[in-house]
Amino acid sequence: MTRDCSRFKFISAFFFFPMRPLLARIGLSYDISAIANAYYREAFERVPAADKAVILPQCLVGEKCKARFSKEDGILCVNCKQCRCGEIRALCEENGWRFFISPSANFSKRLVSRKGLRAAIGGVCDVEIEKGIRSTPITLRGVRLKQKKIVPQVIRMARCDCLNNDIDWELLRRMILNGGGGL
């Protein structure tokens, strides 16, 4: 797909987003995160590893998670192996990325600003995607979070469940290993 075509698709997808229920009734539906990922991918890949992060939501951590919470950095995984966050943290570190587990969408926004992140892969459920689109300025150069623009790649969570959730871990691994691509 050409750059112009990808940009047109991106702009149209966000323009028609509020009309999705109507469009669905006439059989037209689309995955807005896939369209946004495709549009932002090249810009994401260009960002140096040190300015990239993976930000995962706390609904992925194991039931008896041994991590402690830091006001500054979120949930500090100690790789107790009850979930796969520890493995992803290690992979991020090996590849020079940063890694965070965030207790909320607002905390994630503050992280981006405090840590000076320029690109991030986020695990996000459909409810948060919808809320984010309604409340966050989304531009052709990235998403504006607390005065800071960031280039996103989104992996949709398996479900909208704040306690026991899942993500496509293999896809996430591939994306880190490919510098952001892999979707």
The binding site for ligand SF4 (CB under 6 A) comprises 61-62, 65-67, 77-83, 85-86, 101
Comparison of 86 and 132: residue with beta carbon closer to ligand SF4: 86
Q: Are strands 142-145 and 98-102 parallel, antiparallel or unpaired?
A: unpaired
**Residues 65-74 as b or e (16 or more Cβ within 10 Å = b):** bebeeeeeeb
As measured in angstroms, the least distance from the Cβ of 183 to ligand SF4 is: 24
Residue 92: count of CB within 10 angstroms of its CB:
20
Comparison of 83 and 120: residue with beta carbon closer to ligand SF4: 83
Comparison of 47 and 85: residue with beta carbon closer to ligand SF4: 85
Which ranges of the chain would DSSP assign to H, the alpha helix? Answer: 3-15, 20-25, 32-46, 85-94, 105-115, 126-135, 169-177
As measured in angstroms, the least distance from the Cβ of 164 to ligand SF4 is: 12
Residues 16/28, Cβ–Cβ less than 8 Å: no
Comparison of 81 and 149: residue with beta carbon closer to ligand SF4: 81
As measured in angstroms, the least distance from the Cβ of 64 to ligand SF4 is: 7
As measured in angstroms, the least distance from the Cβ of 62 to ligand SF4 is: 3
